[in-house]
Chains A and B, each alone.
Chain A
């Protein structure tokens, strides 16, 4: 069972702010699902390669030359706040 501290740590990594209720709810829901995942440990996968991707594709590159790009106005069009050609944000 995940502790409250573990849930808080994960939440920070995920940049999520949780209420006390949510912390309790996630602690038990995450634990339940992860116990289900414990089932995988029954399998011997010592010599099994991993499949991150089903197609035999590796290092799909393109020529390093300038092609079309998104115009600045379009890139900024959805900005919640902007200043000139910048996205404006609260202080870091």
Chain B
């Protein structure tokens, strides 16, 4: 297999043994991009010169006998909603089409310190709002498994680049499923950590109480290692948690004997493709064969997660996106002769339709006369949803479900009906509302398309989550199947 098809841990061993150089790995990745990017269209921008310079720098350090960490010299792609100093960061929006951040997001700083080689910024649904990357203002990313199907979203480009072996791993962000759902559509590992474990400083905000950054990787070991590097308290993010970051790879024992897995009945309902459900039921049997104990449970307020999410997220978004006014950076309408008109035209022209819809919804939900009935009510129901998980986790170590009700759908198939599009989020949203960690791992294929299995863990319970995910992965072959490009 070519270097670009390997995992970070495999490449790390080869780098340490001096079998391969960071430059060779980086060049292999760009060669692959040159070959397939026309079909995949994952990237908003590529940082070829900087990446090659970085790779050479890492190679020099290795040659000088320096001990390198697990991500040193290895290419990474970053979703274009995370600030990269002096590198264009657009959120796939006209509003930020020319924005060059003067600082790095904390996760980018951490990756830099770890010796990572940033190779490009990935396409997304505009401002991370959407589930198919169809809302990117610039161009459509394609699913390498079937180019007529959506990549999922909002982290479509980040997921695509990993699935197409255009990178070794990538970072995405997840507010309502934007890492896990594309991971499911792509047959890669996608992980959303416990809220507060990864700094949001430099992540261009969508919904502040829901957003989290997380990795896309080719296997669970890589995922655990990447998380270990990017996790940790950050004084620059006042919503970041103080906690000890262990070596997560020590949870990768391959054992799950006695692990208690809850199967919530509300996640096994009509609307899910029967073949998808079949694969998830096979996964449950697999866990039982491995010695885990699987039992039905209930998360009774699941049905309320969607209305709660579609009130809280747009409300927070309307507040976070109020800063885009054409004054200090980004797009500005040049025709207006007074400030207010400039604000209105800048925002109307700078934002796409879906972003405007969510701003309108959020503004309405927060406006005088409606705040209590909509927004506050949603915050109370959020408590009930969180309590459902707290109760379930008294009995279970991990909760299992499908990641998405269907495999990747065709372009335009759902774009006209906002409700159907929202339904494709139904299994992922509760995890963000409760702030718990969730991971999607490949569990098979339906009609040639990947399907993801979702595991949900206790707050700060990433170790157990990785343990369960790893054991399943190592006892199956699904993660080794790659698309035909």
Contact (Cβ within 8 A) A43 B361: no
Instruction: Report the interface size for chain B: residues with CB under 8 A from the other chain.
Output: 68
8 Å CB interface, B406-448 against A: 418-419, 434-435
Contact (Cβ within 8 A) A33 B339: no
- Determine which of A14, A55, A62, A74 lies in contact with B196 in the assembled complex, contact meaning CB atoms within 8 Å: A55
The A interface, classified by DSSP as helix, strand, loop or mixed, is loop
Which residues of B are found within 8 Å of A50, using beta-carbon distances? 376, 379-380, 382-383
Nearest CB of B to A78, in Å: 4
8 Å CB interface, B433-467 against A: 434-435, 459
Which residues of A are found within 8 Å of B103, using beta-carbon distances? 70
**Residue A66 CB within 8 A of the other chain:** no
Among B119-127, B252-260, B341-349, the one that faces the other chain is B341-349
Which residues of A are found within 8 Å of B14, using beta-carbon distances? none
- Determine which of B98, B99, B307, B351 lies in contact with A36 in the assembled complex, contact meaning CB atoms within 8 Å: B307
Which residues of B are found within 8 Å of A48, using beta-carbon distances? 380-381, 383-384
Which residues of A are found within 8 Å of B301, using beta-carbon distances? 43
- Determine which of A37, A52, A75 lies in contact with B209 in the assembled complex, contact meaning CB atoms within 8 Å: A52
Nearest CB of B to A87, in Å: 5
- Determine which of A45, A52, A54, A77 lies in contact with B384 in the assembled complex, contact meaning CB atoms within 8 Å: A45
Nearest CB of A to B331, in Å: 8
Nearest CB of A to B36, in Å: 33
Which residues of A are found within 8 Å of B138, using beta-carbon distances? none
- When C-beta atoms are compared, the residue in chain A nearest to B345 turns out to be A17
Nearest CB of A to B355, in Å: 10
- Determine which of B100, B306, B311, B347 lies in contact with A15 in the assembled complex, contact meaning CB atoms within 8 Å: B347
Which residues of B are found within 8 Å of A1, using beta-carbon distances? none
**Residue B326 CB within 8 A of the other chain:** yes
**Residue A84 CB within 8 A of the other chain:** no
Contact (Cβ within 8 A) A91 B383: no
**A37-B100 in contact given A16-B359, A45-B384 (Cβ < 8 Å):** no
- Determine which of A17, A39, A77, A89 lies in contact with B344 in the assembled complex, contact meaning CB atoms within 8 Å: A17
8 Å CB interface, B190-210 against A: 195-196, 209
**A53-B209 in contact given A26-B360, A43-B381, A90-B336 (Cβ < 8 Å):** yes
Taken together as a complex, chains A and B put the C-alpha atoms of A56 and B318 apart, in Å, by 25
8 Å CB interface, B363-377 against A: 363-364, 367, 373-374, 376-377
- When C-beta atoms are compared, the residue in chain B nearest to A74 turns out to be B102
Which residues of B are found within 8 Å of A45, using beta-carbon distances? 377, 380-381, 383-384
- When C-beta atoms are compared, the residue in chain B nearest to A76 turns out to be B328
Contact (Cβ within 8 A) B102 A18: no
Which of A9, A15, A41 has the most C-beta atoms of chain B within 10 angstroms of its own C-beta? Answer: A15
Which residues of B are found within 8 Å of A51, using beta-carbon distances? 379-380, 382-383, 386
Contact (Cβ within 8 A) A14 B363: yes
**A78-B328 in contact given A13-B363, A13-B367, A55-B196 (Cβ < 8 Å):** yes
Among B3-11, B21-29, B149-157, B235-243, the one that faces the other chain is B235-243
Which residues of A are found within 8 Å of B351, using beta-carbon distances? 16
> 1/0 per position for B307-338, CB-CB distance to A under 8 A?
11011000000100010011111111000111
- Determine which of A30, A53, A74 lies in contact with B360 in the assembled complex, contact meaning CB atoms within 8 Å: A30
Nearest CB of B to A14, in Å: 4
Taken together as a complex, chains A and B put the C-alpha atoms of A40 and B306 apart, in Å, by 10
**A37-B338 in contact given A51-B382, A55-B196, A55-B239 (Cβ < 8 Å):** no
**A87-B328 in contact given A15-B347, A17-B348, A30-B360 (Cβ < 8 Å):** yes
Taken together as a complex, chains A and B put the C-alpha atoms of A37 and B364 apart, in Å, by 13
**Residue B304 CB within 8 A of the other chain:** yes
Nearest CB of B to A44, in Å: 10
Contact (Cβ within 8 A) A75 B102: yes
8 Å CB interface, A41-90 against B: 41, 43, 45, 48-55, 57, 60, 62, 70, 74-75, 77-81, 87, 89-90
**Residue A29 CB within 8 A of the other chain:** yes
**Residue B285 CB within 8 A of the other chain:** no
- Determine which of B99, B306, B376 lies in contact with A78 in the assembled complex, contact meaning CB atoms within 8 Å: B99
Contact (Cβ within 8 A) A40 B330: no
Contact (Cβ within 8 A) A33 B418: yes
- Determine which of B102, B338, B343, B435 lies in contact with A55 in the assembled complex, contact meaning CB atoms within 8 Å: B435
- Determine which of A7, A32, A79, A90 lies in contact with B339 in the assembled complex, contact meaning CB atoms within 8 Å: A90
**A52-B360 in contact given A89-B342, A91-B337 (Cβ < 8 Å):** no
* A–B pairs, 16, beta carbons within 8 Å: A10-B364, A11-B360, A14-B360, A15-B340, A30-B361, A30-B364, A37-B311, A41-B377, A45-B383, A48-B381, A48-B384, A50-B382, A51-B380, A54-B459, A70-B103, A90-B337
Given A53-B209, A80-B329, A89-B339, 12 extra CB contacts under 8 A = A10-B363, A14-B359, A16-B344, A30-B361, A41-B373, A43-B304, A50-B379, A51-B382, A51-B383, A78-B328, A80-B332, A90-B339
Which 7 residue pairs across A and B have the least CB separation, nearest first?
A: A54-B435, A78-B329, A50-B379, A45-B380, A74-B102, A80-B332, A60-B238
